Amino acid sequence: MTKIAFVRKKEIPPSPPPITEVGLIGWLRQNLFSSWLNSILTVLSVYFIVIMLWDFIPWAYGGHWNTKSLRECLDLDPDVACFSVLAARWKQLLFGLYPAEEYWRPTLTFIFLLLAIVPILFPKFFRFFWFSIIYPGLAVWLLWGGSVWSISIVYIGLTLGVLFFLTLIRRYLKNYMIAAILAFLFTAVFFLFISNWLVGLLNAILPINLPFVESLKMGGFTLSLIVGVTGIVASFPIGILLALGRQSNLPVIKMICVGFIEFIRGVPLITLLFVASVLLNYFLPPGTNFDIVLRVVIMVTLFSAAYMAEVIRGGLAGLPLGQHEASASLGLTYWQSQRLIIMPQALKISIPGIVNTFIGLFKDTTLVSIISLRDPVGLASTIRADQKWNGIYWELYVAIGLMFFIFCWGMSQYSQYLERKLKTDK
Amino acid sequence: MCIGKFYVHTEVSKLKIKVKEGKNMKKLFFGVLTALALAAGGTFAGTLDDVKARGNLLCGVSTGAPGFATVDDSGKDVGFDVDYCRALAAAIFGDPMAVKFVGLTSAVRFTALAAGEVDILARNTTWTYSRDTDLKQTFLGVNYYDGQGFMVKKELGVKSTTELDGATVCIQVGTTTELNLADYFKENGMSYEPVPTADNAESQQQYLAGACDTYTTDASALHGTRVNLENPDDHLVLPEIISKEPLGPLVRHGDDNWADIGRWVLNALVIAEEKGITKANIDSWKDTKDAEIHRLLGTGDDDILAMVGLPKNAMYNAIKAGGNYGEIFENNLGATSGINIERGVNASWTKGGILYSPPFR
C-alpha cells in the first residue's frame, strides 16, 4: 500500500497575466478605455487630433522656405505654409532691430544666461555662483554697450561697501545697526563723489568699450527674455520680503506690504505698463531720459512680486504653527528661523505656484507690444506691414507660439524635477 | 523753462486754495497733473534748437502700417511717413539719415508726442477737430487723403456699397471706421450685421474664411491687402469711399516755428512734383526762369528759409532725400511698392487731384 501523496517540489511558475491586463492592450484598457465614458472621450480625442494633423502636417511639411514674398508663395502653391517669412525675418524675431553686426552680443548674453542659472538651479554647481552674481552687470554691458567701467563701478562700489561693513564689525564695532548705517553712508559717498572720477580714470587707463545700442533697437525674443528674466529674478526676493512683511507684527511694515500687494493686484498689468510708458513722462522733469525698457522691467517686476508674495504667503500659511514655535524654542533669531526652518519648507510647498507665476509673467511680456515695444507679437504686425508679407498670419504665430512653448515648458519641467528632488515626506 | 516754472507756481497756489476750501483729493490729483503737463509744455519752446542740439530728429511712426511705416527684411525703416521724416531731417541737417524712428501704437501716439518723446508724429493720423484742439496739437497739412472703403468677393455680384443691405460686415472694434459704418448704413436706410475683429489681419482672416460678406477699413489698407490675396482678381474694392480720413503729420501746440518747418517741407515736396523737380533732375534747374524754383532750391539770391532757421538749401536737401511727393508716393504706395494704389484725389491739382500747396514766396 503505497500511497504516495503528491508533493510538489517546486513552486508553480506564475502563469502570465491575462493578455488584457499587460502590454499594449493592458495599457490601453487601463488608461484609455477603462469605462464607457473614457472610451467615448478617447475616440473623440483621437478623431479631433487626427483631423487637425490631417490639415496641419501637409500644410507645414510642404511649406515654402525660399520665396521672396507672400505673392510668390501663393503663386507656387497657395495651400501650404509660407515659411519664407521666417527665413527672411527670423533674425528680427530673435533680436528685434538690433544692429546685424552686433548679433553676437545678445547671443553671447543668452549663452551666459544659461551658464549663470546653472549654479542657481543645480546645487552641485553652486561653487560657480560668483558667475551668477556678475552676470547681471555683464548682460547689461553686452546688450546696451558703452564703457565696461561704468557698469563695473557698481560692483566695485558695492564690494567696497560690504568690505567696509565687515571691517567695522570685526575690528571696531559690535553694533550691526550702526555699522550698516556707516557702510551705507560710505557707499553713498562713493557713488556720489568718487565713482564718476574713478570711471574717468579707469577709462583713460584701460578703455574697453562696446558700441552703444539704444533700447529702441531691442526687440524680439531678446526683449521678451530681458523683461521676463529680469522680472522673474527680481520679483522672487521682493516677493519673499513682501510675504514676510505681510505676516509681520510691526504694524507699519504690515500696512505697507498689504497696501502694496493689494494695490498692484487690483490693477491690470496693462494699466501699469501704460503708466510706465505714458504717465511717467509727465511726472518726470522734462528732458529726463528714463529708459523705456527699464521702466517696463520695473513695472513687470513690481507686478509679479505682488503675486509672488501671495503665493509664498500661501506656503507660509501651509506650515504648522509648531514649526515656528519649535524654532523659537531652539533660541533662533527671527532671520535664523526664517532662513533655516520656515522658508525652506514654505518655498517647497509653493513651488507649483511660484513657477506658475513665472510662466505667467514670461507670457505677459507680450503685452508690451501695446505700448509700442517690438516684442515678437509686436514684430509680427510690423512684418505684416511690409507689403511683401502683408497677409501672412498663421506662420508667424505658429513660430512665436512654438518659441514661447519651449521656454514655458522648460520652466515647468524644471519645477517638476525640483519637486521630485525635494520630496522628503515619503 | 521759466514759463514752465511760472505755471507750476500759479497752479500750486491755486491748489492750496482748493485744499483749504476742502475740495476732494481728485481735483488735487488732476490739478497736479495739469501743472506738470504745463510745466512740461513750457519747455518745448525751441524744438528746432533741441533737435539741432541732439543731432537727430525723433520721428514717431506706426509700428506697422502697410505702405506708411514698417521695417524691411534688413531692419531698415521704410514707408511713406518714414520718407517724409527723412525729408524733414534732410532739411534740417542735410542728412536724411539723421532721424530716429520711434514706432508708436495708436494707443500711445498722442501722449508720446505731448510728453516730448518724439518731435513730430507722422503716423497715418487722421486730422480731426478734437485732435487739433482738445489734444492741443497742430496738424501740418494732409499728406494722404484716405477714406473708408469696402472689399467684397466678386462672386457676390455687388458693384456698389448701396447694394450691401443686410450684409455681414467685418469691422475693427473701437475705431472711427466702426462709427462711420454705423452712420453710413443708417443714413442709407440699410441694415448690416457686424462681425467684430481686433485688427486688419483678423478682419482679413474672417473675410477669407467666409465669416462676413464684406470687410471695411481704410481704402489704402484694403488695396494693400487685396494684392496679396490668393487670387486678387476674385476680390473687389468697391468704388465708394464713405468717410474722410485726411492723414497728416502733426506737432505739439506752442512752437509755431517748428510747425512751419514741418508744414513747408511737406509743401515743398508737393510743389516739387507740381514743377517737375525730381530726385534725379534736381541739379538741372539752375538756369530756370521760374523764380519760385530758385527760392525753393536756394539757387536764387534771396534766402527766405533763414526766416525759420533753416539753411538756404534745406528744401533742395529735402527733395533730394527721397524725391518729390509723387516719387515718395510711387515708391511706397504706388506701383513700385506692389500696393498699387492709384493717385486718385492724392494727385497734384494740376492733374485732377486735390493736392495744392500755397506758393513758396
Domain ranges of chain B: 2-42, 47-145+246-351, 148-242
Residues of the domain holding A350:
54-98+216-426
Dihedral sign for Cα atoms in the order B292, B298, B300, B302? positive
Taking a contact as any Cβ pair under 8 Å apart, which residues of chain B between 18 and 77 contact chain A?
A: 33, 36-37, 39-40, 43-44, 62-75
Res A288: pLDDT: 67
Our CA-based measurement puts residue A281 at a distance from the nearest CA of chain B, in whole angstroms, of: 6
**Average pLDDT in chain A:** 89
**Distance separating alpha carbons of residues A389 and A386, to the nearest angstrom:** 6
- Cα–Cα separations (whole angstroms), residue A131 to A114, A128, A158, A198, B306: 11, 6, 16, 24, 58
Q: Where are the beta strands (DSSP E) in A122-265?
A: 146-147, 209-210
CATH 3.40.50.300 fits B47-145+246-351, yes or no: no
User: CB-based contact (8 Å) between A216 and chain B?
Assistant: yes
State the cell numbers at B80. Answer: 511713406
Distance CA B220, CA B68 (A): 10
Determine, for residues B67 and A387 on separate chains, whether the beta-carbon distance falls below 8 Å. Answer: yes
| Rounded Cα distance, B340 and B330, in Å | 8
**How far does B341 lie from chain A, in Å, by closest CA?**
12
Closest CA to B73 of A379, A368, A82: A379
Looking at the complex, report in whole angstroms how far the Cα of residue A178 sits from the nearest Cα belonging to chain B: 39
Contacts of B39 in chain A (CB under 8 A): 286
Domain total of chain A: 1
> Distance between CA atoms of A395 and A411, rounded to whole angstroms?
25
Residue A216 and residue B102: Cβ atoms within 8 Å? yes
Calculate how close chain A gets to B327, using CA atoms only, in Å.
Answer: 18
ipTM of the complex: 0.82
What pLDDT, on the 0 to 100 scale, is given for residue B273?
95
Give backbone dihedrals phi and psi of B358, rounded to 5 degrees, phi first. -60, 155
Closest among B202, B215, B197 to B156, alpha carbons compared: B215
Amino acid at residue number B255: D
B332: nearest CA in chain A? A387
Identify the CA nearest to A247 among candidates A315, A331, A332, A299. A315
Taking the Cβ of residue B339 and every Cβ of chain A, the question of whether any pair is shorter than 8 Å is answered with yes
User: B76: exposed, middle or buried (C-beta count within 10 Å: 0-12, 13-18, 19+)?
Assistant: exposed
Q: Position of cell 490739478?
A: B31
Q: Reduce the DSSP state of residue A174 to 3 states and report it.
A: coil
Strand B167-172 to B214-218 pairing: parallel
| B78-129: pLDDT as tens digits | 999 999 999 999 999 999 999 999 999 888 889 889 888 899 999 989 898 9
User: So what's the pLDDT on residue B24?
Assistant: 43
| A107 band by pLDDT with thresholds 50, 70 and 90 | very high
Q: How far, in Å, CA of A375 to CA of A362, rounded?
A: 12
- Tell me, yes or no, if B117 comes closer than 8 A to chain A by beta carbon: yes
SS3 B235: strand
Total residues found in chain A within this entry: 426
Q: Is residue A256 part of a domain?
A: yes
Confidence of residue B27 (pLDDT cuts 50, 70, 90): very low
Q: Is residue A252 part of a domain?
A: yes
CATH code, A59: 1.10.3720.10
List pLDDT tens digits, range B31-53.
Answer: 444 444 444 444 445 899 999 99
The rounded distance, in Å, linking the Cα atoms of A202 and A156 is 12
Q: Is A237 a member of any domain?
A: yes
Which of A75-84, A170-179, B21-30 shows the lowest per-residue confidence on average (mean pLDDT)? B21-30
Q: Do B339 and A387 touch (CB under 8 A)?
A: yes
Q: What is the Cα–Cα distance from A186 to A144, expressed in whole angstroms? A: 29
For residues A296 and A273, the answer to whether their CB atoms sit within 8 Å is yes
Pick from B146, B153, B225: which is nearest to A74 by CA? B225
A100 touches chain B (CB under 8 A): yes
Q: Is B191 on the interface with A (CB under 8 A)?
A: no
In a domain, A63, yes or no: yes
Q: How far apart are CA A222 and CA B123, in angstroms?
A: 26
Q: Nearest CA of chain B to the CA of A69: how many Å?
A: 9
From the list A140, A139, A137, the residue with the least C-alpha distance to A153 is: A137
* 3-state secondary structure at position A327: helix
Architecture of domain B148-242: 3-Layer(aba) Sandwich (3.40)
Label the pairing between strands B214-218 and B148-153.
antiparallel
Name the 3-class secondary structure at B120.
strand
Is A170's pLDDT higher than 90? no
What integer is the mean pLDDT of B226-232? 87
- Contact state of A382 with B64 under an 8 Å Cβ cutoff: yes
Mutant choice from B56, B63, B226 vs A, greatest count of A C-beta within 10 A: B63
Query: What local confidence, expressed as pLDDT, does residue A5 receive?
Result: 79
